[in-house]
């Protein structure tokens, strides 16, 4: 995730680029990118080029960008302009981090692979000779 945030008077401009740095054979699914906005935000104009849909949630003070599937080695971007309320004394904005949630099936970030698995079961349990790998983002945050 490569974020660029510019504060210009009563506007905040966002340019966020998401790149998938894994094999083209794999894909990330269920991606949710949460981009914080200032508490004084009133309206938002969003443009997504590539995959996904984005929406402004004023109750969370955030832009929520949902990408159902992103193929490996692809990238997608979001551009948004947030208008701020006119205030006599603007409150300082702490710029909380952007958070990202996703999962990648059949991928191990550590490279750990199961080569051999043997099941000892007295009840003649029918084992399936297949291992499913799934990488899920725990707490992935990017400072802006």
Per-residue pLDDT reduced to its tens digit, 99-113: 999 999 888 878 888
Non-local CB neighbours of 112 within 8 Å, separated by 6+ positions: none
Q: For residues 63 and 44, give the distance between their C-alpha atoms in angstroms, rounded to a whole number.
A: 9
* Closest alpha carbon to 144 in 8, 38, 31, 22: 38
What tens digit of pLDDT does each residue of 70-125 get? 999 999 999 999 999 987 677 778 889 999 999 998 888 788 888 887 777 778 77
């Amino acid at each position: 995730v490569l974020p660029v945030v510019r504060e210009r008077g009563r506007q905040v401009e966002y340019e966020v680029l998401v790149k998938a740095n894994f094999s083209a054979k794999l894909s990330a699914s269920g991606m949710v990118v949460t981009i914080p906005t200032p508490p004084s935000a009133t309206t938002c104009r969003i443009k997504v080029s590539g995959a996904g849909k984005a929406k402004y949630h004023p109750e969370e003070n955030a832009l929520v960008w949902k990408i159902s599937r992103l193929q490996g080695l692809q990238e997608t971007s979001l551009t948004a302009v947030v208008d701020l309320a006119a205030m006599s004394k603007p409150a300082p904005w702490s710029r909380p981090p952007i958070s990202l949630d996703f999962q990648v099936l059949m991928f191990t970030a550590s490279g750990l692979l199961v080569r051999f698995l043997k099941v000892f079961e007295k009840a003649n349990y029918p084992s399936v000779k297949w291992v499913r790998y799934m990488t899920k983002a725990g707490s992935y945050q990017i400072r802006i």
